[in-house]
Chains A and B, each alone.
Chain A
Amino acid sequence: MLETHIDQTLTAFFAGDRRAAARLMTAVENGGPAAEAVLEALYPKLTGAPRLGVTGPPGVGKSTLVDALARHHRGLDRRVGVVAVDPTSPFTGGAVLGDRVRMNDLATDPGVFIRSMATRGSLGGLARTSKEVVDVLEAFGHDLLIIETVGVGQTEMDIAGTADTTVVVLSPESGDSIQAMKAGLMEAADVLVVNKADRPGADQMVRTLEADLHMRPAADWTPPVIRTVASSGDGLADLTAAVDAHHRYLTGSGDLERRRHARVRVEILAVLRDRLWRRAQRDLTDHVPGWTEKVLAGEATPYTAARAMLAALIDDDPEDDE
């Protein structure tokens, strides 16, 4: 996006234009200087609206649950922003993003904005820029942000680092297949949900999860295990109550402050890393072949090469960064 376009789009965005919001999300997702300009302009508009992460293995009914949660909050006249992340194929770079299918009732609700994202080479369940896209939704005035990702036991901490409250969803069918991923899922969870609780095996699963939770070291917050049938709405009231309770706990205990503090710290480091890397790529890439030759010829080590290049980078005038 060109700079003139960015200004126009930002103006439209602040006037409440949905098309502009969508375009800013694209700019943010595509990264680069445009993304930074956008995020900087939006930063003062961030409201601190609650962020809910929903994760769990494929097929447990996450999208149906997100749909039901969003409808619940719409009933309370809250505006809801949803970011749904699905994996990019490592072979083709393409992706099929199908989470909207289960959110058809929200498709034309002006108080809801749904954005699908592909992970685009990011290793975690989140896309690299999911958090930033959520920022755009937050700055657009949404009262609740929901981030939905596939979680298979390794990547949940990503979402836990982005959301205030992380809901881990399982279903009776997940049964044995989740053993391997259980540790990761349980660690990330602030609230555990057994969805499709009308199916055989649900009771067993709830008992196992509760037993596992008792094994954890004592903490101020013990994740409750909630049974839901998202397709019929059963258990949703319990779930929203649990999420609210967790939010109260976070604010009351100061944990929310700590989490957000940590998040800002991570964010600063990420921006810094991103900038340094971009600058290194711009200024130093040309020097790499020369140093490579020297290392191969035994005239230098990779460490002396890196030290020399870093010194050259820091000596540069920071003003010509962009």
Chain B
Amino acid sequence: MDRAIRVLVAKAGLDGHDRGAKVVARALRDAGMEVIYTGLRQSPEMIAEAAVQEDVDAVGLSLLSGAHMTIFPEVLRLLREKGGDDILLTGGGCIGDEDMVELREQGVGELFGPGASTREIVDYIRDEVGRRRQLQENS
């Protein structure tokens, strides 16, 4: 089924720098996706609950404050607790290589640093969601 991909885009934590989140939200919309934009200052609980209610395929978090090692794992834990284990958790911000590796090991998807192109992000979400939907259909 070629249904629209739904993505939740959120600014996690107290950080208000939303340039990246907005540029990405626009790019995802322009690529034909339905973007649920929750705006600023979202707690992990708010993000996970919204992801479940909206039945999104992916959650994209933008986070420039350095709190990524706290917030990503917490969102992941809550998504799993709420039965959203199949939802892709991805995102971007000022995240060093070492932290990216650690978060990926915990189950977070690809993370995009400064300089990533929106095309890379769109392609990644489309491919990864497609792969996961295929798995779901075959299970």
Physical contact A–B (CB less than 8 Å): yes
Interface on A for B, CB 8 Å cutoff?
A: 2, 17-19, 22-23, 25-26, 30, 32, 88-89, 92-98, 100-101, 104, 107-108, 113-116, 118, 120
Contact residues of B: prevailing secondary structure: mixed
Cβ–Cβ < 8 Å partners of A19 in chain B:
52, 55, 82-84
State whether B84 touches A94 (Cβ < 8 A): no
B53 CB contact (under 8 Å) in A17, A22, A118? A22
- Does chain A have a CB within 8 A of B25? yes
Bound form: Cα–Cα A18–B54 in Å: 10
Residue in A closest to B2 when the chains form the complex, CB atoms: A30
State whether B3 touches A104 (Cβ < 8 A): no
Q: How many residues on B have C-beta within 8 angstroms of the other chain's C-beta atoms?
A: 32
User: 10 shortest A-B CB distances, which residue pairs?
Assistant: A94-B29, A101-B39, A19-B83, A22-B55, A107-B46, A93-B32, A26-B55, A94-B32, A98-B37, A97-B36
Bound form: Cα–Cα A93–B4 in Å: 8
Known contacts A92-B31, A118-B4; can you find 8 more A-B pairs with CB under 8 A? A18-B52, A32-B1, A94-B29, A98-B37, A98-B39, A104-B42, A107-B38, A114-B50
What are 27 of the A-B contact pairs (CB < 8 Å)? A2-B137, A17-B83, A18-B53, A18-B82, A19-B52, A19-B83, A23-B55, A25-B55, A32-B1, A88-B34, A92-B31, A92-B32, A93-B4, A94-B28, A94-B35, A96-B25, A96-B37, A98-B37, A100-B36, A100-B39, A100-B50, A104-B38, A104-B42, A104-B46, A107-B42, A108-B46, A108-B49
Bound form: Cα–Cα A114–B31 in Å: 25
Of A93, A94, A98, A120, chain B has the most CB atoms within 10 Å of the CB of A94
Bound form: Cα–Cα A251–B121 in Å: 53
Name the interface residues of B71-102: CB closer than 8 Å to any CB of A.
82-84
Nearest-neighbour CB distance to chain A for B44, whole angstroms, equals 10
Cβ–Cβ < 8 Å partners of A94 in chain B:
4, 28-35
Of B1, B36, B43, chain A has the most CB atoms within 10 Å of the CB of B36
Residue in B closest to A20 when the chains form the complex, CB atoms: B83
Residue in B closest to A31 when the chains form the complex, CB atoms: B3
Cβ–Cβ < 8 Å partners of B46 in chain A:
104, 107-108
Cβ–Cβ < 8 Å partners of B29 in chain A:
89, 92, 94-96
> Contact flags (1/0) for B49-65 with A, using CB distance below 8 Å?
11011110000000000
Tell me the number of A-to-B contacts counted with CB atoms below 8 Å: 87
Bound form: Cα–Cα A115–B6 in Å: 12
State whether A97 touches B34 (Cβ < 8 A): yes
B35 CB contact (under 8 Å) in A2, A93, A97, A104? A97
- Does chain A have a CB within 8 A of B45? yes
Bound form: Cα–Cα A108–B44 in Å: 10
Of B25, B35, B42, chain A has the most CB atoms within 10 Å of the CB of B35
Residue in B closest to A113 when the chains form the complex, CB atoms: B53
Residue in B closest to A93 when the chains form the complex, CB atoms: B32
> Contact flags (1/0) for B3-31 with A, using CB distance below 8 Å?
11000000000000000000001101111
State whether A107 touches B49 (Cβ < 8 A): yes
Known: A23-B55, A30-B3. A96 touches B38 (CB 8 A): no
Bound form: Cα–Cα A23–B32 in Å: 21
Nearest-neighbour CB distance to chain B for A293, whole angstroms, equals 30
Nearest-neighbour CB distance to chain B for A115, whole angstroms, equals 6
State whether B38 touches A101 (Cβ < 8 A): yes
Nearest-neighbour CB distance to chain A for B40, whole angstroms, equals 8
Bound form: Cα–Cα A100–B47 in Å: 11
Known: A89-B29, A107-B46. A95 touches B55 (CB 8 A): no
State whether A97 touches B37 (Cβ < 8 A): yes
Name the interface residues of B105-126: CB closer than 8 Å to any CB of A.
none
Nearest-neighbour CB distance to chain A for B37, whole angstroms, equals 5
Cβ–Cβ < 8 Å partners of B25 in chain A:
96
Cβ–Cβ < 8 Å partners of A92 in chain B:
29-32
Nearest-neighbour CB distance to chain B for A258, whole angstroms, equals 33
Residue in B closest to A107 when the chains form the complex, CB atoms: B46
Residue in A closest to B51 when the chains form the complex, CB atoms: A22
